[in-house]
Amino acid sequence: MSFNSFEYLLFLPAVFLLYWFVFKRRDAQNVLIVVASYIFYGAWDWRCLLLIALTSLCSYASGAWMQKFSQTDVRRKILSLSNILLNLGILCYFKYFNFFGESFTALLNALGIQADWVTFNIILPVGISFYTFQALSYTIDVYYGKIRPTNDVVAFLAYISFFPQLVAGPIERATNLLPQFLAERHFDYASAVDGMRRILWGLFKKMVVADNCAMAVNAIFSDYAQCDSATLLLGAVLFAFQIYGDFSGYSDIAIGSAKLLGIRLMQNFNTPYFSRDIAEFWRRWHISLTTWFRDYIYIPLGGSRCGQWKTLRNTFIIFLVSGLWHGANMTFVCWGLYNALLFSVLMLLGVNRRNVNMVAQGRVLPNIKELLQMAGTFLLVVVGWVIFRADNISIAFEYLHRMLSDFSFTMPIVGRKALLFVLLLVIVEWLQRGKEHGLQFPDNAFFRCRGVRWATYYLLFMMTLLMAGRETDFIYFQF
């Protein structure tokens, strides 16, 4: 069941009404969330429910058993490692089994050793990377004593399977989300209204911006060998906004849907294309994943406290793992290494923490320096997105070579409508860059007028209804 489907349009209000008017007690609400989440997830493939149930129950049991042993007891470590290896084993089997098998066979053949690899038709369960990382965070946090293991199995099942963020995040921590399922929830009208605004903004970003960009991007990338450099550049730029509108739009709908149920999820995007360097970009893009890698891999490896070269090593490990997390393809690995190189340059120069505040703070427009920094950073990000989007590395390099060497200044025919929607998105997000989302209206007399607010809602709703591109799945469902 996808957020941009008619089924979800019926599903969410039904859950909302049952949640607040029928299942009024916390325990009953948690049962409803688990049932609704399993219906939501099972709509893709009921067999995937077995995997998420296995992950949930094993993680719950390991946490319950760990509390029986002291922090220094070796049995506590064995339980933690066993559950981590089980979850990682399931993830790696479904996501990487054929990739590594085929890579190993290719290596043997290159060495003159004839080998054949039998591939299996393994279906990647939607969202497996997201809920697996959520389960891992619980196990690790319990082991280190950051959170007490829960004895409420229903609340834990709700934590792992919470349908708004189940298949594409944000990747929540047990320290933030689980306590919300253990506490009583009370309906908050203002929060629910803001949740509805955020859902509308997310649908606009997905169905109007991302889906219209997708039609032009697919046409350009499928025929890149016949396109001039201007068209290829347009295709790369439009993909940057396709993946942003698609993924951040999903996050907006997820956060808004959770707000309707009295649950607060973490912010996952913070106007990343207004970043002034790559380090700032990664502090603003897919925040739940980058902070997960920081807290559970980068810092345990020593972080930035272990000397310059080990810090660089840790940085490359993080970006390599990030690339592999996105999928079993060398394009993702190279994309991760490309970003690691860009990030490492800033670290060597000691300027990776230079831009931590909002750009043009307190001003309507950026100055020339900020504008050039944002343009340069965006171009570097776009180059990375070409590698990410391409079917293989050779296509990525050929695409980039033609885009950056065969200069032409003709106006591309495709993508003109998508560019208008991108421009509208950029203007709104620039004006709202200090807000959580584009429809979080400023508190002034103009927007306090109910007519202005409802006119804005109506305009966005009609644009979403009438100008939506061809319906496509969310990009991050495949990860």
Q: Which pLDDT belongs to residue 303?
A: 82
Nearest 5°: the CA angle 142, 144, 145 is 60
Q: Which pLDDT belongs to residue 451?
A: 84
**What values do phi and psi take at 6, rounded to 5?**
-65, -35
User: How many angstroms separate the CA atoms of 479 and 477, rounded?
Assistant: 5
The active-site residue out of 186, 286, 326, 401 is: 326
Residue reference for tokens 């923490």: 353
Return the amino acid letter for 278. I
User: How many angstroms separate the CA atoms of 135 and 149, rounded?
Assistant: 12
Q: Which pLDDT belongs to residue 109?
A: 64
Return the amino acid letter for 69. F
**What values do phi and psi take at 71, rounded to 5?**
-60, -30
Residue reference for tokens 């039609």: 215
Q: Which pLDDT belongs to residue 240?
A: 97
Nearest 5°: the CA angle 458, 460, 463 is 105
Q: Which pLDDT belongs to residue 409?
A: 67
Cβ-Cβ contacts under 8 Å for 350 (sequence gap 6 or more): none
The verdict on whether 286 is a catalytic residue reads no
Q: For each of the chain's 479 residues, which pLDDT tens digit applies?
A: 788 888 999 999 999 999 999 998 999 999 999 999 999 999 888 888 999 999 999 999 999 999 888 888 888 899 999 999 999 999 888 887 766 666 656 666 666 666 665 555 667 788 899 999 999 999 999 999 999 999 999 999 999 999 999 988 899 999 999 999 999 999 999 999 999 999 999 999 999 999 999 999 999 999 988 888 889 999 999 999 999 999 999 999 999 999 999 999 999 999 999 999 999 999 999 999 999 999 999 999 888 888 888 889 999 999 999 998 988 788 999 999 999 999 999 999 889 889 889 999 889 899 999 999 999 999 999 999 999 999 999 999 999 999 988 777 676 777 788 999 999 999 999 999 989 999 988 777 677 788 888 888 898 988 888 887 776 778 777 76
Q: In the chain, what is the straight-line distance between the N-terminal and C-terminal CA atoms, in Å?
A: 16
Q: Which pLDDT belongs to residue 118?
A: 52
Provide, for the chain, the percentages of residues in helix, strand and coil under a 3-state DSSP scheme, each rounded to the nearest 5.
70, 0, 30
User: How many angstroms separate the CA atoms of 15 and 25, rounded?
Assistant: 15
CB 415 within 8 A of CB 233: no
Q: Which pLDDT belongs to residue 107?
A: 60
Q: Which pLDDT belongs to residue 4?
A: 85
- Of 413, 414, 440, 412, the residue nearest 428 (C-alpha): 440
CB 390 within 8 A of CB 314: no
Coil/strand/helix, residue 138: helix
User: How many angstroms separate the CA atoms of 378 and 406, rounded?
Assistant: 20
User: What's the pTM?
Assistant: 0.92
DSSP 8-state code for residue 467: S
- The gap from C-alpha 157 to its chain's centroid, in whole angstroms, comes to 22
